[in-house]
Homo-oligomer: A and B are copies of this chain.
Amino acid sequence: MSPDDQRPVDAETALADAPAGHKDELRLWLRLLTTATMVETEIRRRLRVQFATTLPRFDLLAQLQRAGPLTLGGVSRRMMVSNGNVTGLATRLEAEGLIERRVNAADRREQSLRLTPRGKREFARQSAAHEGWIAELFAGLSAADRVALHRLLGRAKASIGGALQEETQ
């Protein structure tokens, strides 16, 4: 039973010790994933304990705040999630009185979502805290490193986007 090391071991550490091949890319991917997961988990935790909300709810409010009234489909595309997902999320947020639905008279298939006044207030509080949390988590990175990282991630995104394109074609 391998007395089993008890300290927390992150996925990357556990996985990265493999032989040769494309292991280079694999290590990069694991580190990217681990980093994103660490931040995401912490943000979810803080949203839960400090605001009794969740990341998807917060994200949906953020879309409405920044892009004005949106259809469900618009939110779905922006959040990169499925249509059905947004339906459920919107239902819950509406029930909580943070957003409201309004059917588009000109095209009755569509409905636009918008923040209620209460939703605006609530999101403003959450958003300010959120911005601070992110700043705090990345504070250990120099400004130059942040810029460099941002640039390299841009290239990574382009690489991935390109690969996805080719696949479709």
Tell me the A residues contacting B by CB distance below 8 Å. Answer: 1-2, 4-5, 7-11, 14-15, 17-18, 21-29, 31-42, 59, 62-63, 66-71, 73-74, 77-80, 102, 104, 106, 110, 112, 131-132, 134-141, 143, 145-146, 148-150, 152-164
Chain B residues, Cβ within 8 Å of A159: 137-141
The reply to whether B163 and A137 form a contact with Cβ atoms under 8 Å apart is yes
The reply to whether A163 and B139 form a contact with Cβ atoms under 8 Å apart is yes
Say which residue of B11, B150, B156 sits within 8 Å of A79 (CB atoms): B11
A15 CA / B102 CA spacing, docked (Å): 23
The reply to whether B158 and A140 form a contact with Cβ atoms under 8 Å apart is yes
A158 CA / B1 CA spacing, docked (Å): 32
The reply to whether A153 and B161 form a contact with Cβ atoms under 8 Å apart is no
The reply to whether B28 and A32 form a contact with Cβ atoms under 8 Å apart is no
A164 CA / B25 CA spacing, docked (Å): 27
